[in-house]
Amino acid sequence: MEEEINPRQSHNINDLFNQRKYLKVCAPMVRYSKLQFRTLVRQYGCDLCFTPMILADSFCKSSHARQNEFTTNADDGPLIVQFAANTVHEFVGAAYMVAPFCDGIDLNCGCPQRWAKQMGLGCAMLDDPEVISNIIKECRNTIPKQFSVSVKMRILNDDKKTVDLCRQFEHAGASFLSVHARTASQSTGDINRNVLKLIQESVRCPIVANGGLTSLNECDELALETGCKGVMVANSLLTNPMLFTGASKPTLNCVQKWINICYNSTVPMSSYSEVTEPKISSRPLNLNFHCFHHHLVFMLEKILPKYKRRVFNKLKEFDDVLAFLEAELLLKPQLYDVDTFRNSYNLTLDYKDTISVYTRLRDRNACNEAFVDESNEYNSEATDGSYFNKKLEQVNEDDVEEVYDWDSLYK
């Protein structure tokens, strides 16, 4: 097959808010809201997707970070790329680089993790709202008006101060705000619905409500109660990518789509016509094992009995996962038709004509740092993450129904 990839279509995020009763949004999730998962949830009612949080400084300085942290294709939209940054030149520089390949960029002011706060990122940014406002303003001055500039934030302990912050960010030029209605110290518990309603009544820009939603009914109720123009779901979409359709759990067809998305992302354009037996190799192109396996662990939670999940969750190789899926669920990879394959093929992203904005802004701000090509200091793949480990703990409890031995059954 000739290497002819369809161009990406752009989307106006402001128009999107006007076209829907409320937007159904896939949250930025470290490790998980990557291209393959974004492709899946869009097939089940998701209106807008975010990338995982990307460190802007590493993205600007490192070609390795740019290659690994952001991938997209012709069908990857509407799309918001989220960056963590605490300087104008890093955020705007990174935003300018990805602008041709997405529909908006978002500043993370909500991450409560210790490492982010120690770096002055995430929710630590809310301590200096002037920096956030300056970042928004500079983005607006550098990137065309239609392009969306947004902030994802947590609430403060004081509702009035939270509202004042949102007004300040709107005045600076924010297209919309995503508000996780918990404080930085709250990881669980009820969200503050009253402050969401108060914020939406106090600003003109759309507010996307976030926090603890587990079903479409809950999304409907929150949008109706608060008047928010969007709802954002995170972990519950991992276990049920069909959540926005009203389904209570994923179907086998949903799992099959995930397998197909992942498999086809590994096939080189030059090899498409030579495929006879679809199979994921041990070290595939554009796919790591954690991404493929973790999402299956989440999706199969309500499909497989616990004793089978206990075996599946411990698998470490693509071959073993594929053998299990075929033996237990009669599922195996399927090659896309030509048109679908072209639209799903990763775009080649060329940043050479856009990196100059970062260096110009950096020099203007008199930053004494050399431009070096170095790897990202934060590696989201270095650990499995707390959400995945929690799922492992749930199936490793003692009340296992029966012994289920992988080696004797499938080796």
CATH of the domain at 57: 3.20.20.70
Q: Report pLDDT for 326.
A: 98
- Asked if residue 26 belongs to a domain, the reply is yes
Residues 319, 294 within the same domain: yes
Do residues 130 and 165 touch, judged by C-beta distance below 8 A? no
Give the per-residue pLDDT at 401: 47
Query: Has residue 376 been placed in a domain?
Result: no
Looking at the fold, whether 293 and 323 belong to one and the same domain comes out as: yes
Say whether both 267 and 293 belong to one domain: yes
Residue 343 lies in a domain: no
Tell me, yes or no, whether 100 and 239 share the same domain.
Answer: yes
CA–CA distance, 33 with 315 (Å, rounded to integer): 22
Question: What per-residue confidence (pLDDT) applies to 376?
Answer: 40
Give the C-alpha separation, 322 to 293, whole Å. Answer: 10
Residues 114 and 56 in one domain: yes
Mark whether 326 and 179 lie in a shared domain: no
Residues 71 and 147 both lie in one domain: yes
Residue 345 belongs to some domain of the structure: no
276 token code pair: 């006879």
Catalytic residues: 111
* Pairing of the two strands 48-50 and 148-154: unpaired
Q: How far is CA 187 from CA 108, 143, 181, 191, 219, in A?
A: 17, 35, 11, 10, 19
| 307 and 158 housed in the same domain | no
Same-domain status, 90 and 192: yes
Helix, strand, coil shares, percent, the chain, to 5? 50, 10, 40
Question: What averages of pLDDT result for each successive group of 10 residues across the chain (411 residues)?
Answer: 72 96 97 97 98 96 93 96 97 96 97 93 96 97 90 97 98 98 90 97 98 97 98 97 98 98 96 94 94 98 96 97 98 97 94 89 67 47 65 61 52 48
370 assigned to some structural domain = no
Segment (H or E) for 106? strand 104-109
Number of domains in the chain: 2
User: Do 150 and 290 lie in a common domain?
Assistant: no
Whether 59 is in a domain gets the answer yes
Q: What is the predicted pLDDT for the residue at 392?
A: 65
List the one residue out of 87, 287, 19, 356 whose CA is nearest residue 107.
Answer: 87
169 part of a folded domain: yes
Residue 375 lies in a domain: no
pTM score of the predicted model: 0.91
Instruction: Give the domain range for residue 403.
Output: 252-336+381-410
Are residues 30 and 83 located together in one domain of the fold? yes
Q: Do 106 and 175 reside in the same domain of the chain? A: yes
Is-contact 265 341, C-beta < 8 A? no
